[in-house]
């Protein structure tokens, strides 16, 4: 551990000498550059689920109003929204496809 710290320290000094050190390279940043604290991740996952539920229920409600079939499409799309929310959270933790492009 100390060896790596020493290397990081030396690398930092060398980068600073060359004027390459950037504060943006936060050590706590996750793989897609977002902060990876436990609370931040939890909040993000929760918001993903809730917003997918809102989008699903809203879409279902709108379609119901258009087609005049009130509770049914709303109920179906509420479930679809829940599935989409779980998928959003899954995507949050799985490595993004094509990120290396």
Partner 1 sequence: MAAEGKTIDALSQFELTHALGPIGAAVNFTQSNAHMLLAVVIITAIMMWGMAPRAIVPGRFQAVAETFYEFVENLVVGQIGHEGKRYFPFVFALFMFVLFGNVLGLFPFAFTYTSHIAVTFGLAFLVFVVITAVALALHGKKFFGYFFPEGAPLWLAPIIVPVEVVSYLSRPISLSVRLFANMVAGHVLLKVFATFVVLLGGLGVVGPFLAVLPLSVNVLLVGFELLVAFLQAYVFAILTSIYLHDAVHLH
Which spans of this chain sit near partner 1 (rule: CB under 8 A)? 22, 24, 32-35, 43-44, 47-48, 50-52, 54-56, 59, 77, 80-81, 83-85, 87-88, 96-99, 101
- Whose Cβ is closer to partner 1: residue 6's or residue 40's? 40
Output the smallest distance, CB 16 to partner 1, in A.
Answer: 16
Whole-number Å distance between alpha carbons of 88 and 68? 30
- Whose Cβ is closer to partner 1: residue 43's or residue 75's? 43
Whole-number Å distance between alpha carbons of 37 and 95? 17
- Whose Cβ is closer to partner 1: residue 12's or residue 96's? 96
By the 10 Å C-beta count (0-12 exposed, 13-18 middle, 19+ buried), 101 is classed as exposed
Q: Which of 52, 59, 45 is nearest to 85 (CA)?
A: 52
Output the smallest distance, CB 10 to partner 1, in A.
Answer: 23
Contact between 88 and 53 under an 8 Å Cβ cutoff? The reply is no
- Whose Cβ is closer to partner 1: residue 3's or residue 23's? 23
Distance of CA 35 to the CA centre of its chain: 10
Output the smallest distance, CB 93 to partner 1, in A.
Answer: 15
């Amino acid at each position: 551990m100390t060896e790596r710290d020493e290397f990081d320290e030396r690398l930092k000094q060398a980068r600073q000498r060359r004027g390459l050190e950037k504060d943006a390279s936060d050590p706590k940043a996750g793989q897609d550059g977002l902060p990876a604290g436990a609370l931040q991740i939890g909040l993000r996952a929760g918001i993903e689920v809730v917003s997918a539920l809102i989008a699903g229920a809203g879409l279902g409600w709108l379609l119901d109003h258009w087609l005049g079939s009130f509770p049914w499409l709303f109920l179906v799309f509420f479930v679809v929204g829940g599935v989409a929310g779980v998928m959003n959270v899954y995507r949050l933790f799985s490595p993004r496809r094509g990120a290396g492009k």
